Structure 1
């Protein structure tokens, strides 16, 4: 039986491979025309928002999902049995979107904490949805059992090099659109986005992983020297609720010198409210997590530092914004 810790990591040699900028560039060519080139907004002098919440399916996740499935097809991996994914919500919505676009069946496993907005979005895209278990790791165990039964293609939420390379296209776009920044702040759960961006901007910008205090996957991995299980709770748990950072993501992020800062649920909630109040930007808690690091002082830019904040997801109930 696969334990929770093992279930958090990818399977096989490819999952242990590193990801380079070249991989992200190839991913950009592969998925070009299927994704949106999301805009960059200058919120204030030296502060840029990468508006990834405007992406298809409401989050960056569609980038990695497209790259995973299209790369698998190029390698001759079968997709006729459909795709299976475990998700806190956003990844599942992205995989369902990709499956519909590519004409394959999607089966998505989500934990019970997944918001109704995301479950409704999955079903609207035609995915078969199974809610099971308390946290993402439980859904992942169930999804892998289903893969073994059906022969469907697994599309891991964050710990596969093709997924990571796809997410890294956010960083490539950011560099092209801005002419370069000093630092990129990225909300982090399983680590796919932050490691992909770190690979894409290597040598050109620093990357900081921003994590909820109640889900410190990368922070604890850095302290331990390897991914470890952490408790999962708090307002961003349905998006950033990986029990354990991905193995591949950890190696890439550590190699690229990614730093970690932690923010409270209260800081995330205030940042989300500020984004709505001051900019009329409606994002979910995970989408506001990177911005929270600036607002609460967990990350303090140097004088003249040019900082980009990735606003990564908008799958939220707008009635919760005042």
Structure 2
């Protein structure tokens, strides 16, 4: 079976990338800081500038660091899936070496709004092939390729027929970090087809917690990868259905179609609640972003029409920037 899939998968997956492209993730953060600079009275820009100074950076350098953090999350080497037969643990599929396809780390970057609570007790779960409502060819072929494969749980843990080639302990480190108050057992991660990956708001909350603990610029930047919640494919939850075409379109038309218009960001800010400075949990705010992309984004899963993409882009990108502004406002009050 896997020999047949090896021939088919590169054609389907060669252009798949990380929800919003890494460049778009970075640009959203840069534009959020620029918005705060342009609207100091309505944002926590003064405290942001003070934070930059304390970090030995200019505001522009701080924006660059934060944006790079949001960019870098797609490159994390923190998730390995292991062969049911070989026991070999890898961070990307064999056909990933043929293209710039994302690694398995990307499966933590979803929040499924087509379903309710997940097996962990989260209000919305993450990627779970068994729970997909709008799965497409990429999802189905990947699940067939990974049939029976398990999440790396460290040396001496789950192995394949021919051994245990653990590389990282993704369950004991990555999944534990992203658990964030929910519950897990390793039995949930023994077969890819039914793995309930933790949702992206838990990823963001983990890194935001690291920021609260030590005011790390990089940790704050990592938390801002949560703008995936404004990418409709990540709330409808599919790796297929124009996923790569849409993200490439957003990158290519970001400027020419004025997707980050200042006035649109101002309007978008009104759609988010303000987090109390005394509150540590930013996930309710992030889920609001997911609600917005889910309510608007079904169209780009089923259409490649330029004008329809412009309409959705001028909703989700300003809201992604606004969500970052809201998170940064909260962070600066802490």
The normalised TM-score by structure 1 is: 0.28
The normalised TM-score by structure 2 is: 0.27
**Larger CA Rg, structure 1 vs 2:** 2
Between Structure 1 and Structure 2, which shows a larger proportion of helix residues?
A: 2
